[in-house]
Amino acid sequence: MATREEILKHPRLHLLPQTSQLRALMSIIRSKDTGRGDFIFYADRVIRLLVEEGLNHLPVVPKTIETPLGEKYDGVAFQGRICGVSIMRAGEAMEQGLRDVCTGVRIGKVLIQRDEATAQPSLYYSKLPSDIAERWVLLLDPMLATGGSASKCIQVLHEAGVQEDRIFFINLVCTPEGADMMLSRFPKLQIVTAAVDDGMDAKKFIVPGLGDFGDRYFGTD
């Protein structure tokens, strides 16, 4: 298995710049003392940074426009259309961050739940845009631990005709094991993340991690 250091250098893993602002936001959401209101507020801020970074990796084509001064500006435009796909439930927390920057964006949903005892994922439901195979897909899930859930979701996307090189996995915290598994199993997948943590505990929770993202964001436990 690749080490954390090797994962951090992987060309298809894009780690957000570890600025003091991001580290302060992550310190708030990782803290056991942070209540639900602040958890939502600061997680949303990091999600916004992740979505913006994800968009940085989408392909563009040259586009020349004219400014109000009658001058030409050699710019670019996004090539093609995008959609989001959230892995329910925690991934739904990332949908608004995507909507905030891409108005009217289509969002597919895949309900996958890990068994609390075995950490094995089960697929319960999926509903995707009918033209998803022609879109660039931002796959949304804040937590990547073993990689079982995300990999099951990518199988669903494959079955819907999505090519792997069109999938950008937007993630808040991952483990070296999970990232290594995803990057090896899906050789064209790209991952955008805010943190690569040390590993997992005996219950397959990310350490140091932030606990159960879905429970903290949606107020269940």
Active site residues: 114, 118, 212, 215
Instruction: Read off the DSSP letter of residue 162.
Output: -
Minimum distance from CB of 213 to ligand URA (Å)?
4
Packed helices 36-56 and 20-30: angle between N→C axes, nearest 10 degrees: 140
The span from the CA of 89 to the CA of 176, in Å, is 23
**Beta carbon nearer to ligand URA, 44 or 212:** 212
Question: Which positions from 46 to 75 touch ligand PRP by CB under 6 A, shown as an x/- string?
Answer: ------------------------------
How many binding residues for ligand PRP (CB under 6 A)?
22
Q: Which residues inside 88-117 make contact with ligand PRP, applying CB under 6 A?
A: 89-90, 113-114
Q: Which residues inside 164-183 make contact with ligand PRP, applying CB under 6 A?
A: 178
Minimum distance from CB of 25 to ligand PRP (Å)?
19
Minimum distance from CB of 143 to ligand PRP (Å)?
4
Contact assessment for residue 142 and residue 26, using Cβ atoms and an 8 Å cutoff? no
Q: Indicate which of ligand URA, ligand PRP, none lies near residue 209 (CB less than 5 to 8 Å, by partner kind).
A: ligand URA
**Beta carbon nearer to ligand URA, 42 or 213:** 213
Minimum distance from CB of 207 to ligand URA (Å)?
8
Q: Indicate which of ligand URA, ligand PRP, none lies near residue 205 (CB less than 5 to 8 Å, by partner kind).
A: ligand URA
From candidates 84, 97, 147, 209, binder to ligand PRP by CB under 6 A: 147
- Tokens for 147, please give them: 């990689």
Contact assessment for residue 194 and residue 206, using Cβ atoms and an 8 Å cutoff? no
Contact assessment for residue 30 and residue 213, using Cβ atoms and an 8 Å cutoff? no
Minimum distance from CB of 185 to ligand URA (Å)?
18
Beta-ladder partners of 104: none
Within a 13 Å sphere around the CA of 49, how many CA atoms are in the beta-carbon half?
Answer: 20
Q: Indicate which of ligand URA, ligand PRP, none lies near residue 108 (CB less than 5 to 8 Å, by partner kind).
A: none
Q: Indicate which of ligand PRP, ligand URA, none lies near residue 97 (CB less than 5 to 8 Å, by partner kind).
A: none
Closest CA to 26 of 182, 204, 172, 179: 172
What does each C-alpha distance from 153 to 58, 76, 123, 210, 216 come to in angstroms? 21, 32, 8, 23, 23
**Cα dihedral value 192, 197, 201, 204, nearest 10:** 0
Contact set with ligand PRP (CB under 6 A): 87, 89-90, 113-114, 119, 121, 141-150, 178, 204, 212-214
